[in-house]
Amino acid sequence: MHHVMNPIEKKYRPKKTKTILLALISLLFTVIGLFVNQDESTKGGLISVFFGLCLLVFIIQLIPGSTELKLTNEGFEITNLFCKNLTKWKDVETFKIGYTGRNKTIMFDYVQDHNKHETGKIIAKQLSGSHGGLPTTYGLKAADLLEIMNEWKKKYGV
């Protein structure tokens, strides 16, 4: 009997409750903007357009596969609005807890000989103290996700 080996992978997705709440808030402000717009104010139109776009993004994020973190033996793949970006474990020097705004997340620095995203790494390092970071903790506590990321890097980042 011939066995097919499946690649090792684990997926994490953001909590839907937070996304739904943000979508409802965006819907509320979109409607408020429409009412403000009746007074011939461009502010109302700008409010409606901005929060309408936010609403669209949150709706897209609710579609399965649009937003996730996938861990494989090769690396970690971040999918945001169906755009995928793979970072290999061997390209990451360290993971640590950092902040995007007020929110804790996982930040990382690339190994010294990593030669992609040079300008982006410089800008990110100046702004956040790290070369890159995950956009969210995918429904986990930052400390738990940090432990998971370090375990996968230790196991597969050779």
- How far apart CA 66 and CA 42 sit, in angstroms, is 33
Judge contact between 143 and 97, C-beta under 8 A.
yes
pTM of the predicted model as reported, rounded to 2 decimal places: 0.80
E strand or H helix that includes residue 21: helix 16-37
φ/ψ bin of 69: left (φ > 0), alpha (ψ from -120 to 50), beta (otherwise): beta
16-37 vs 42-61: helix axis angle to the nearest 10?
160
Judge contact between 98 and 133, C-beta under 8 A.
yes
Total H helices, total E strands in the chain: 4, 7
Domain boundaries in the chain?
9-61, 87-156
pLDDT at 76: 97
pLDDT in tens, the chain (158 residues): 444 455 689 999 988 998 999 999 999 999 988 887 665 567 778 889 999 999 999 999 999 999 999 999 999 999 999 999 999 999 999 999 998 888 899 999 999 988 888 888 889 888 888 999 999 999 899 999 999 999 999 999 87
* Strand blocks (E) in 51-154: 67-72, 75-80, 83-88, 92-100, 103-110, 132-133
